[in-house]
Amino acid sequence: MAEPESASVPHHVAIIMDGNGRWAKQRGLPRIEGHRRGVETVRRTIETARELGIEYLTLYAFSVENWRRPQDEVGALMGLLEYFLKRETSTLVKNQVRLRTIGRTDLLPDFVRQELERTIAATADFTEHTLVLALNYGSRTEVLDAAKSYAAAVAAGEIAADDDSWESFARHLYTKDLPDPDLVIRTSGETRVSNFLLMQAAYAEFVFLPIFWPDFSADHFKAAVAEFAKRERRFGRTGDQLRSPAATAAIPPLVAGR
């Protein structure tokens, strides 16, 4: 797998794409027009991630809570997903970007699932860049699904009942073969996490941008990555420990989750 060009480039960026509705409202347009423009931003963002050498890009495209929206908006979002997958698969293949999903995708409409399966199969062998679409995703649902799977594995004798390592449990999350996000970006000015990657973002840096998703440009993305590069990630240690190699050498390894 290609390393990002610099250590200050995050391996994995996850984005809460928010503000499509407000973008449209500001212009007197229907909400769906904001989502349509949001798809263009998705295309641009995938391209920028690739240019920046970001290996994993996760986009929160549809949450478990989004079913509560008016039926016509849910239908339009599903239609846009189908449209995106039909139109973008060839570009993903050309750019060698693998598609993955997280979430209860089995509950998506058949026409979306079929396109997803087609694109996932067409891009399955690529390793340098991965686009993860969070679809019918919610962290709490993910933890419930993981707990059921974990309990079944304990009952089957595959995991010791007294195994309390986070890594064992994390192997039952939707993200089992994905690294944790280093940087989470949310557009629209809201400063909430909204049930997104709550477990995986335990040590992520957050950047909240006061712009709506359709306006999120390559420059905004680069500025967020530059902001990430300025942050000191301590993972529970002190700043002095990080700056002193001798002190760092004396630190016991991180026992995740304790």
User: What is the spatial distance between Cα 96 and Cα 99, in angstroms, rounded to a whole number?
Assistant: 10
Pairing of strands 12-16, 129-137: unpaired
3-state secondary structure of 191: coil
**Residue 198: how many CB atoms within 10 A of its CB?**
14
Stretch that binds ligand FPP, among 76-84, 121-129, 155-163, 202-210 (CB under 6 A): 76-84
CB of 188 to ligand FPP, least distance (A): 6
Closer Cβ to ligand FPP, 119 or 188, answer by number: 188
Does residue 17 bind ligand FPP (CB under 6 A)? yes
Task: Give the interface size with ligand FPP as a residue count (CB under 6 A).
Answer: 20
User: What is the spatial distance between Cα 201 and Cα 189, in angstroms, rounded to a whole number?
Assistant: 19
Q: Which residues contact 105 (CB under 8 A, 6 or more apart)?
A: 113, 116, 135, 136
Instruction: State yes or no: 18 annotated in a binding site.
Output: yes
Does residue 103 bind ligand FPP (CB under 6 A)? no
Closer Cβ to ligand FPP, 78 or 242, answer by number: 78
Instruction: State yes or no: 172 annotated in a binding site.
Output: no
- Tell the residue number behind the tokens 């058949």, with chain if given: 110
One residue of 32, 61, 76, 225 binding ligand FPP per CB under 6 A: 61
Instruction: State yes or no: 257 annotated in a binding site.
Output: no
CB of 25 to ligand FPP, least distance (A): 7
- Tell the residue number behind the tokens 């499509």, with chain if given: 20
Does residue 113 bind ligand FPP (CB under 6 A)? no
One residue of 59, 99, 173, 225 binding ligand FPP per CB under 6 A: 59
Q: What are phi and psi of 192, to 5 degrees?
A: -115, 165
Stretch that binds ligand FPP, among 33-41, 109-117, 152-160, 231-239 (CB under 6 A): 33-41
Q: What is the DSSP string of 39-67?
A: HHHHHHHHHHHHHHT-SEEEEEEEEGGGG
Closer Cβ to ligand FPP, 59 or 146, answer by number: 59
CB of 66 to ligand FPP, least distance (A): 5
Does residue 39 bind ligand FPP (CB under 6 A)? yes
Q: What is the DSSP string of 102-162?
A: ES-GGGS-HHHHHHHHHHHHHHTT--SEEEEEEEEE-HHHHHHHHHHHHHHHHHTTSS-TT
Contact set with ligand FPP (CB under 6 A)? 17-22, 35, 38-39, 42, 59, 61, 66, 77, 80-81, 84, 133, 188, 213
